[in-house]
Amino acid sequence: MHRCWHISELRHKIFESLGEHGEDPNIELSRLAVTCREFHVDAVDLLWEVQYGVDNLLKCLPPTTWKIHDGRFIIVSRLMKENWDRVLYYSSKIKYFSDEPRSPKALILDVSVFKSICLRVSLDLSPVPLLPNLRALECHTSSPLFLYLPSLVGSDFLGIDSEIPLTDSTWWFPNWPKLASCCHALEVLTIHNDDNEGNRGSPEERRRRQEWASCFILTLDCANLRSISVGDVTREAYSYISHLKNLEVMRIRRLPDDKSCLDDVALPALRKLWLEQSDSASITILLDHLRAESLDFVRLSAIQINIPLESTPGEFITKILSCCSSLCTTVDIRVDADSAALQSAGMNPLLELSNLKMLHLSYPTIEGIDDAFVERMASAWPNLIELWINSKTFIQKILPRIEGASGPDNLPKMAVLSIYLCKNIQYLVYPTGILQYIAHMDATGTIDIPVQDTHSPPIRNLLKSFNAGHSPIGDPAQVAIFLLNVFPKLSTIECSLPRKDQNKIKWSVNTVVSAFCIIDLSELDNG
């Protein structure tokens, strides 16, 4: 409650609830008591709703049972069942839990200590789960806590093999008991495998983490799960995931190698599909068993197109889009360098998605996209705000350069023209030409400009590259106006310098303008 007094809006609300002076001299005190009690409940719920790690929960144990020494949490006396009453009171308010502490000052918890605590939870408190109202769970296979998460979210934990060596390098967890979890409210599950973030560890360790994560999924009550994000999973875990009736979002790093399990899919509620590092044959089998026109979001990364199975990449795109609804807002398809060329005809189905807001199409070769096709792109996607067409041939072979321009630094006119056609673009990526200067412009209006020549002002080099009236723009004032006209939502220019630390320098548009000259912003309305 004391924190509320430091928030002006809440403090005003408290005094407002006290009302006018009444005849009863104790009426104000009575109202204050009710108000404080109401704010206390709300504040407690809010403070406990999201928890990273178990530090705060453990500190709810009686102070005589634990101590902190050199930043390390230590249990100093045997924990009894009644010691957990306060812990359970607050843990029931947790809706989001992560096993990775956010604070750099998080307590160091010995694995052996945590193992002891988990055994106490599972044996002393059974069948009471520690997190009965959990809505979202985020966990990491590299976290020491991941070993014991079942005892935190399950109710029928039979104990942990005491012979398992308690080291951070222990990945094998034999005879992990199947849990009858009480987390019936769980809706979002995210499991981070280290091989999603840099392929750390040996192949054997990654295999064990895969089995570990898969076993954990199989132990949970996922009946109400709406979203799952996981790395590699076993055939059994995938079969379990692919029959979740309420699942709306499925993100899997790689589909199982055993394609026989891909034929048995029942995901009637699926709206978003995100697959990484899978081959087109496996994806095609999966798409054949999804409900037609059901997806609003498709993201397929690092896909290998198998030409013997798909006659053209265009047919593969058509297969993907057959599962997309008319309300689809996101299409992200990235294939590897060995895939065949994509013809413009293969992109025609994309033009039917009138509600598209984000398109990321990464192919090694895209052919046949001319000025007319770009104009059709702009008219087909009036709500498009993020465009990323990444292909070595997209600009080099197809898009003409400005007449009279010379040198590699001049931008293709279609790269600029397409910006004008798609008025709402906030994030733009091109692979060649313009990509030398504009790597990306994100939704906050940031342009990332890799700078090649560190001896000249990077902004000046960028802006001199644009052409107007068949002549280079040299005046910084003209260039600044040009930038603001082309990118009306631009707020920041971000430049990457070729340094070892890969740091980036950012300028606001106003800073760039004032650095070159003083511009009357009213002139922008007149072009």
Q: What is the 3-state secondary structure (H, E, C) of 390-403?
A: ECHHHHHHHCCECC
Q: Which residues pair with 191 in a beta bridge?
A: 139
> Taking a C-beta distance cutoff of 8 angstroms, is the pair 446, 492 a contact?
yes
Distance CA 413, CA 388 (A): 17
Residue 241 phi/psi, 5-degree rounding, is -65, -40
Distance CA 509, CA 462 (A): 14
CB atoms within 10 A of CB 302: 15
Strand stretches in 201-258, DSSP E: 227-230, 249-252
Task: Write down the pLDDT at residue 182.
Answer: 56
Task: Write down the pLDDT at residue 462.
Answer: 41
Distance CA 195, CA 201 (A): 8
> Taking a C-beta distance cutoff of 8 angstroms, is the pair 324, 293 a contact?
yes
| pLDDT in single tens digits along all 527 residues of the chain | 455 555 665 666 666 655 544 444 445 556 666 666 666 656 667 778 888 877 788 888 899 988 888 777 777 887 777 888 888 888 888 888 887 755 566 666 665 566 666 655 555 555 566 777 888 988 887 776 676 666 565 533 333 333 333 333 333 333 333 333 456 778 999 988 764 444 456 777 777 778 778 877 877 777 889 999 998 888 888 998 999 999 999 999 888 888 888 888 889 999 999 988 777 778 888 888 888 788 988 888 766 665 444 456 677 788 888 888 888 888 888 776 666 677 777 778 888 888 888 887 777 777 766 667 767 776 788 777 776 666 655 544 333 333 333 333 444 444 444 444 455 555 544 433 333 333 333 333 343 433 333 333 434 434 434 433 333 334 444 444 555 555 555 544 433 333 334 444 344 444 433 333 322 333 333 33
Find the largest Cα–Cα distance for the chain.
89
**Residue 40 has which token pair?**
């206390």
Q: What is the distance between the terminal CA atoms of the chain, rounded to a whole angstrom? A: 56
Task: Write down the pLDDT at residue 229.
Answer: 92
User: Can you give the pTM of this predicted structure?
Assistant: 0.66
- Torsion-angle region of 393 (φ positive above 0: left; ψ -120 to 50: alpha; else: beta): alpha
Task: Write down the pLDDT at residue 143.
Answer: 74
Fold designation for 271-433: 3.80.10
Q: How many CA atoms lie within 13 A of 268 on its CB side?
A: 2
DSSP 391-446: -HHIIIIISPBPTT--STTSPBHHHHHHHHHSTT--EEE-SSGGGGT--EE-TTSE
CA angle 221, 224, 229 (to 5 degrees): 80
Strand stretches in 76-222, DSSP E: 96-98, 108-109, 136-140, 188-192
Task: Write down the pLDDT at residue 248.
Answer: 93
CATH 3.80.10 intervals, the chain:
271-433
CA angle 230, 231, 235 (to 5 degrees): 90
Its sign, for the CA torsion 162, 165, 170, 172, is: negative
Task: Write down the pLDDT at residue 241.
Answer: 92
Task: Write down the pLDDT at residue 150.
Answer: 62
